[in-house]
Structure 1
Amino acid sequence: MVHTLERLLVRHTLRLPAQPAAGGAGTQGAAAARQFDVALMSVGFKLSAELFAALSSYDAKTVTALAARTLTTVRELVGDHVRHNTYFVDFPANVPDTAAFWAECVDRALGNEVTRPGVLAQLRDGVVDLLSLPGYGRYQHRYEEMLAAHEELTASPGDRVTLLHLGGTLHDEAAALYLALAGSRTPLGEEHLADLAVLAQHHADGPQPEAIPVREHRAVVNRARLRAGVPLLADTVTDVLRLACALSGGDVGLLEPTRFRAPSRPHRRALLAALDAVVAGNPAKLADVPRHREAWKRLGERLHPHEYPQWPHAAEVFAVARGEREAPSLAGHVEDLLARNDVTGAAELLATAAPGVLFRSLDRLLRTAADDGRRDAVLAAAERAAPRVSGRVVLSVRDHIANRADGSGGSRSGPRRVFVNRRGAAWVTEDTRPTLPAEARERLVALLDAETLRRLDVPERLLVDPAVLDVALPLSGRAAAAGIGTLPRGSVSPVDGDLLRFFTYWKQSAHRTDHDLSALVLDADYDAVTWLSYTALSSVEGVHSGDITNAPDGASEFIELRLGAVRGDFVVPQVHVYSGEHFEAVEESFFGFMTRDADQGGAPFEPRTVRMKSDLRGPGRIALPLAFQRDEEGRWKARWLHLYLRGEPQENRVEENVLTFAVLLRGLVERTPLTVRHLTELMTGAGARTEPWDGRTVPDEPVTFIGLERPDGLPAGSRVITPENLRDLIPA
């Protein structure tokens, strides 16, 4: 378990915990630290000066063991823990024309006595199945042979160097990470929720965050608290339902139905006692039950509340679920008021009972209000309720309003709206909403900004890396996938280098699985220019590494683009499930990209050149991790998407979804997310002494630093915000 916690810390914080003191330090420890540093540089990492000094004081055996564990973790972070082979051994050189390659595969099959009859029969029918050809879709050489065909990578100043820093003791670091994840003000993705569950096993009965505002986090913590025998954290009946889902290994987000297991008697008693306490304290909480009526019915069959008369209020929950007792919901009251055109009454009710719901409903209420007087009443209710609304909701509404109709009939997001749910599934629909009056918009924006500023911890000195200003604030759980170098959805970051190389890797679990890497090139009007895929192996822009159609031992595909040769303004890499297991069913799948100088050489996969690698774990059968856009000055930037489309059950291909991709991309590109720039400008306006960081000069006094990576040598007492803990920037 110690090694598991250490691995979590490296993945989440890029920090190595301080090791227990041991004898035999000195030159042996320093020599081992230097060897560790050299090994890290081969995969794009490096020890910070402070960490190197600390490791040099340890004995060589301790450093060597730590190095072995850490190298395993960082290699997995960048995707270097697997072997990346290519179909074409010389890729990116000598990639053939697609039609010529297919003809060669047919010729080879005709030359084989075993396969000749079948191919001839297909030719007579006029259609040849590529998968039936022995030379198609399978590696034709060993991994070692592929490596031998490539020169060694030449070092470049542009290669990625990610610093590892020194942390505190393992216990202190793990406790701090637990508090950060459990108390996060924005929902964690599924991977980070699983990490929280591991940490909660050790810390659920110790110090806790001041609040656990996200209900999914509370469910994970409650599962650990239940097993540790400490009181549960539950103030709604839905908290108990989420805990029951967690105990059964189900979805604590309540998006997917859970197959409830029969809980042990102690767990059954704990769940019923918690329900009884919630309802006894506030019977109005029963109004939450109808939202998940079917889940409550199924849970009741496992809990048998009638066997526990000492908790009568718990039985009321299941009576409501079965329809034997009425429990009018707040939403029902609001809808009744709106049906009677009582917008002011609806706003007042929500301001008192559910201020967060009021803020999420402001657009609708302001549109429904028929005159300035009622709009003023809605905004007045919002102003009174604002102090009781979470910071994430305040910023989410600010983000929504910034992309809303501008009062002159135009819309920043165009005539279509893009929706993205909590799991990254996306869809598009027409925007038929009327515009909001300019005066109402301005008053609401002023309210939201004032409320955000009131809660911000404004530092005396703020040091900001300009590259982080266009990073979107992580206001949703699936805003960014797990991995390295990933940024929240909507973020924009610069891309340097002559060559841009995408890669995907997958390993099937039980069935033959074919994932296809493709890249679509669009012009400024979002019309298709060309694409690269297994059906188009080469173009002016670049080349594809070849189609692999079976991955029992894992498989990789690559696309390399020469950025100077791209004829369009957008490049949209994507991964399609052509056949077999989807992204959540395979044993492993991930996507990433590398950048290189034109003369660097190297193997198809070089960890030092990896800029981003993210797991592919989402709904649907088409993944859109990010897109690349050329700006007006000709510079390329990455625009982060983290989206999944439903696609077809089989045979998804880039050329059949061009229109869908174009419409979706247009909606996202023309939308302006709320970014780090918004908060830094508020801080500056409130008196923070803000300075841009030049990438070299380290301040001599503690600062608040916001950037893409933690600089080496920041003074003790500095507060550091990077993508790994960007959620900490969201005010409470």
Structure 2
Amino acid sequence: MDRLAELLLRQRLVAPDLLVPVVEREAAAPGPEGSGRSSRSSRRERPLAAVADGLVALEADLLQLGHVLSVPLRARLAELDAGDLGQAGRALVSALSAQLGGRVVHTPLFRRFPESVPADTVELFVRRVFSVLLQRPEQPCVLCGQVAAVHPVSPCAHLVCRACWDGADYSACPICHRRIDPGDPFLRPADDVYAPAVRWSGRVPETLTLLGLCDDPAARARDLLGPLLSRQAAPRAEDRAVVAEIVDRFWPASAGWLPERIPARETRAVVLAAAVRHGDLALLTRHADTATDVLRLLHALMGGDPALRARLPRRTSLSRPVRRALLAALDRQALPYLIEDLHRYPAQWRHMAEVLHPHEFHRRHPDAALAFAVLRGTPLRKGTPMADVLLERAAAHGDLLSFDGVRLRARTFAGRFEAALRTDPREALALLARRPGELLRRTADLARRLPAADLAEVLRAAAPHVSPAVLIATLGQLRTPPGGTRMFLPRGGAARIWAEPDAREELAPETVAALSAVLTGEMLRRAAALPPVETALLDEELADLLAPEAERSASAALVRLPRGSVRPLPDGARIRLFLHWAEPADRVVDLDLSVAVFDARWEFVGLCDYTNLRLGASAAVHSGDLTSAPEPLGASEFVDLDVAALRATGGRYAVPVVFSYNDVPFDELARGFAGFMDDPDGLFDPLAVRQRFDLTGPAKILVPLVADLWSRTMRWVDLNVSAFGGFHNVYEHEEQLARLGAAAEDAYGLGERVTLWEVACWHAAARAREVVVRHRDGAVSRHARRPGEDAAAFASRLGVRQAADPAAEAGAAEAGLAVVLEDDVRVSEGAQVYALHPARLDPAVIRPLDASDLVGMLAPAMR
């Protein structure tokens, strides 16, 4: 399927012309020779019965996936001829199925899962070991004694007794659990085992997702690109991919869509990489503000991670004009900032210096050459041409650089700041005043060292220049009292997560109030600059969703939940976790789906994984351990969870984990995803999928959520856990998982972080004349702005429950801004709508928002 078509489909928009292969459309385009008639006019002369029947069949297929066509989209598909409709329909159904995880064939180890999963995992393991150690060809089976029942399977060649191991139930070698050839005689057919992954289950979901028509993909792509380019927070990997696809697809027109400034530096690198590939080096002058911008661009050009959190990319050569342009961009930076930026990523820059050859251009770009000489400790011998040029430049910066006769040394800003912080916090504050972002990140620490009034004054001047994500994180740090757990998520994605007890001194309430007022006042000021609306509609339950701060390591997911948010577990009696992956052609990859269960004090209760296929009788049931996943089938594992039975075992917290057993990073997979279903009908039921997320990045262990079985809720944590060596499983990481789960519950559950409810209140109070609030119990209340009331006072009233007004929502005008959980809203055409579950909203007639958009709209004005 066309990548742009997939991108639009994730927005629930369908562009029919993109679903039909270009070659076929061009071949069908001409009318009879010399007629001059268009393709569309010739289609209209064809019989319509086949098209009508095809549309009905397509709607039936979409219904099985929980989707329906909007009226405009159906009419547009009806204009296609039968052949094009068939192509478009197949592409549409395939892509929608892939979004839910159903395009692949899911075949677990035990094909009759969950009924045929053995009750005793230890006995099964002993039988496997006996077969490996004692079985001999052309001898009776060592387990059952039958003669002529033992034969090798392909390709692993393990000797398998056909009487002891049921070839109608196993999908892999029963000894090593690796996939075997589909045509191997051991694999016998079984009734309904290889049922299609997407099949009609006989039920229709209560909520169907509406697919809208996109008649102008270029215009819609431009609309999608604008908010992504304006966000200041670090983007998700999937958002970077969207930017790259749109900019590259529509170049050079997309060059005219770029704003004067792209705030997020990873996004900026993706755009610049596209421009450089298309031969446009002029954008470097406009968008490469720092040396780190150039480093991110180098990573993007070489197929690496512009977030600088993955492994170093394989170096690729650059043309001479590109090298000159990049060194010129470095040379434009003030030397103190250039040296400091290079020292932030020393290993990365030493790696890239081998490509840039900065000393080759030491006369043309002396500051760049000087900065690399300091970084690399290059010996400089007086009297040589390069040394004389660089030492002359260094002499002009005697307060920054020193020369020991051989090498240059630098004194960085970080060193000067730390020294000032130890001796004179006011001097440290003066230094930070020139770096607003760094000031905000250190505000909570400075508030314990300086008078609130002094800090508030500097903060008031700095806040207008800082991204909303940093403001939100600072608010949470100020308001969260000590005594809980501090959890630090490093930028490295797969680096070690650090948690420690919060033993800091408690801030005075008046200090918290004064500093928080400055930050919230800035957010309200920014919201007031956005277009006004007559009516805003908010859900009180938004308080369960945290405002996104940094999402660069967030997984691409079917439901985009900000990290730390809480949602109810599915209502069904059975929750089925699923995992699917396919390994690259050159290596075996063994992933394991596991669940660890802990009690209320985070003491280990039990587990369900390849070492224990059943927890209790059926509290948790594993589908069996597949140890390889060759294409085209790949491999799938499942775990069924019975919440009531898990509670009966003494468990309170269930922690699902995806392990890379043999230590292969997820980003080396051919494909990989996981998720969960609610009471599925059959092995894999697309209508029952409630969450699906990709396995990406350099991580080898992923903890997607922590389930609280007592309250029947889950906290979305989406954490990559550090791992070294191999043989990863629950037993090896049991203590680490307990610490991580407890820290996540403590840090997110007890901390007073900014929620989407608060962000929605900022928008509504600053922009709307009237605000309708839907409460948790279903009651509705209306708040009208009072004469002369400012945004801060109005926002504080939105959090105070008024007398219920059953007619409030029914009598309110259609909302121009809605921030809600469910899609049962009345909104005007073109309204801005955030809905966690937006299935019934037509994306073609509203402006859909996600949580990052709500925050990103509060970015500071471009200067």
Are residue 350 (structure 1) and residue 432 (structure 2) matched? yes
How high is the TM-score relative to the length of structure 1? 0.86
Structure-2 residue corresponding to 1:721: 849
Structure-1 residue corresponding to 2:669: 586
Provide the rounded CA distance (Å) in 1 between the counterparts of 2:265 and 2:216. Answer: 30
Aligned positions of 1:173-322 closer than 5 A: 173-201=220-248, 202-203=250-251, 204-230=254-280, 231=282, 232=284, 233-255=287-309, 256-279=311-334, 284-308=337-361, 309-322=363-376
Deviation of 1:32 after TM superposition, in Å, equals 3.4
Are residue 95 (structure 1) and residue 127 (structure 2) matched? no
Provide the rounded CA distance (Å) in 1 between the counterparts of 2:704 and 2:562. Answer: 11
Moved more, 232-241 or 53-62: 53-62
Does structure 1 retain, via aligned residues, the 8 Å contact 2:212–2:843? no
What amino acid is aligned across from residue 392 of structure 1 in structure 2?
A
Provide the rounded CA distance (Å) in 2 between the counterparts of 1:158 and 1:724. Answer: 29
Distance 1:424 1:376, change over 3 A: farther
Deviation of 1:466 after TM superposition, in Å, equals 6.0
Does structure 1 retain, via aligned residues, the 8 Å contact 2:270–2:300? yes
Are residue 54 (structure 1) and residue 76 (structure 2) matched? yes
Distance 1:242 1:107, change over 3 A: closer
Aligned positions of 1:614-653 closer than 5 A: 614-630=693-709, 632=711, 636-653=712-729
Does structure 2 retain, via aligned residues, the 8 Å contact 1:244–1:260? no
Provide the rounded CA distance (Å) in 1 between the counterparts of 2:189 and 2:102. Answer: 14
Does structure 2 retain, via aligned residues, the 8 Å contact 1:45–1:163? yes
Equivalent of 1:331, from 414, 436, 456?
A: 414
Distance 1:545 1:626, change over 3 A: same
Are residue 113 (structure 1) and residue 136 (structure 2) matched? yes
Deviation of 1:716 after TM superposition, in Å, equals 7.7
Deviation of 1:720 after TM superposition, in Å, equals 2.6
Does structure 1 retain, via aligned residues, the 8 Å contact 2:135–2:142? no
Deviation of 1:176 after TM superposition, in Å, equals 2.6
Provide the rounded CA distance (Å) in 2 between the counterparts of 1:472 and 1:49. Answer: 36
Deviation of 1:273 after TM superposition, in Å, equals 2.5
Deviation of 1:306 after TM superposition, in Å, equals 4.2
Distance 1:496 1:321, change over 3 A: same
Distance 1:441 1:158, change over 3 A: farther
Deviation of 1:359 after TM superposition, in Å, equals 0.2
Equivalent of 1:555, from 622, 635, 649?
A: 635
DSSP 3-state at the match of 1:176: helix
Deviation track 1:423-478 (CA, whole Å, cap 9, x = no partner) reads: 26433234332222222122222222111121124643223466655233222134
DSSP 3-state at the match of 2:2: helix
What amino acid is aligned across from residue 608 of structure 1 in structure 2?
L
Distance 1:343 1:95, change over 3 A: same
Structure-1 residue corresponding to 2:620: 542
Distance 1:143 1:639, change over 3 A: farther
Are residue 482 (structure 1) and residue 556 (structure 2) matched? yes
Distance 1:580 1:437, change over 3 A: closer
Deviation track 1:498-556 (CA, whole Å, cap 9, x = no partner) reads: 21000111222222332111112222222233221112211241311111122223111
Are residue 435 (structure 1) and residue 506 (structure 2) matched? yes
Equivalent of 1:147, from 172, 193, 215?
A: 193
Deviation of 1:685 after TM superposition, in Å, equals 3.9
Provide the rounded CA distance (Å) in 2 between the counterparts of 1:319 and 1:611. Answer: 54
Provide the rounded CA distance (Å) in 2 between the counterparts of 1:580 and 1:144. Answer: 34
Are residue 654 (structure 1) and residue 725 (structure 2) matched? no
How high is the TM-score relative to the length of structure 2? 0.74
DSSP 3-state at the match of 1:593: strand
Provide the rounded CA distance (Å) in 2 between the counterparts of 1:270 and 1:619. Answer: 31
Distance 1:53 1:675, change over 3 A: farther
DSSP 3-state at the match of 1:657: helix
Deviation of 1:639 after TM superposition, in Å, equals 1.5
Does structure 1 retain, via aligned residues, the 8 Å contact 2:208–2:839? no
Are residue 78 (structure 1) and residue 149 (structure 2) matched? no
What amino acid is aligned across from residue 45 of structure 1 in structure 2?
H
Does structure 1 retain, via aligned residues, the 8 Å contact 2:599–2:653? yes
Are residue 396 (structure 1) and residue 467 (structure 2) matched? no
More contact order relative to length (CA 8 Å, sep ≥ 6): 1
Distance 1:74 1:311, change over 3 A: same
Distance 1:28 1:153, change over 3 A: closer
Does structure 2 retain, via aligned residues, the 8 Å contact 1:684–1:690? no
Distance 1:727 1:389, change over 3 A: closer
What amino acid is aligned across from residue 499 of structure 1 in structure 2?
R
What amino acid is aligned across from residue 188 of structure 1 in structure 2?
P
Structure-2 residue corresponding to 1:22: 40
Deviation track 1:671-705 (CA, whole Å, cap 9, x = no partner) reads: 33432111123334444523446744534565432
Deviation track 1:223-257 (CA, whole Å, cap 9, x = no partner) reads: 11223333122122222222223223333223444
Does structure 2 retain, via aligned residues, the 8 Å contact 1:461–1:703? no
Provide the rounded CA distance (Å) in 1 between the counterparts of 2:158 and 2:744. Answer: 40
Distance 1:711 1:99, change over 3 A: closer
DSSP 3-state at the match of 1:516: strand
Are residue 417 (structure 1) and residue 483 (structure 2) matched? no
What amino acid is aligned across from residue 147 of structure 1 in structure 2?
V
Structure-1 residue corresponding to 2:526: 455
Distance 1:311 1:563, change over 3 A: same
DSSP 3-state at the match of 1:646: coil
Provide the rounded CA distance (Å) in 1 between the counterparts of 2:128 and 2:296. Answer: 54
Structure-2 residue corresponding to 1:5: 4
Question: What is the aligned residue count?
Answer: 699
Distance 1:606 1:219, change over 3 A: same
Structure-1 residue corresponding to 2:23: none
Distance 1:713 1:190, change over 3 A: closer
Are residue 530 (structure 1) and residue 585 (structure 2) matched? no
Provide the rounded CA distance (Å) in 2 between the counterparts of 1:515 and 1:116. Answer: 35
DSSP 3-state at the match of 2:577: strand
Deviation track 1:209-236 (CA, whole Å, cap 9, x = no partner) reads: 3531111111111111223333122122
What amino acid is aligned across from residue 656 of structure 2 in structure 1?
P
Does structure 1 retain, via aligned residues, the 8 Å contact 2:134–2:142? no
Structure-2 residue corresponding to 1:69: 91
Deviation of 1:641 after TM superposition, in Å, equals 1.5
Structure-2 residue corresponding to 1:127: none
Distance 1:418 1:541, change over 3 A: farther
Structure-2 residue corresponding to 1:126: none
Deviation of 1:103 after TM superposition, in Å, equals 4.9
DSSP 3-state at the match of 1:472: coil
Provide the rounded CA distance (Å) in 1 between the counterparts of 2:710 and 2:552. Answer: 27
Q: Which runs of 5+ in 2 are unaligned?
A: 19-38, 144-155, 161-173, 180-185, 378-390, 395-400, 402-409, 775-819
Distance 1:725 1:513, change over 3 A: same
Provide the rounded CA distance (Å) in 2 between the counterparts of 1:53 and 1:697. Answer: 25
Does structure 1 retain, via aligned residues, the 8 Å contact 2:493–2:699? no
DSSP 3-state at the match of 1:535: coil
Distance 1:158 1:418, change over 3 A: farther
Structure-2 residue corresponding to 1:663: 739
Does structure 2 retain, via aligned residues, the 8 Å contact 1:518–1:533? yes
Structure-2 residue corresponding to 1:612: 691
Provide the rounded CA distance (Å) in 2 between the counterparts of 1:522 and 1:306. Answer: 58
Deviation of 1:560 after TM superposition, in Å, equals 0.6
Distance 1:708 1:113, change over 3 A: same
Structure-1 residue corresponding to 2:440: 359
Are residue 496 (structure 1) and residue 592 (structure 2) matched? no
DSSP 3-state at the match of 1:88: coil
Q: Which runs of 5+ in 1 are unaligned?
A: 121-129, 406-410
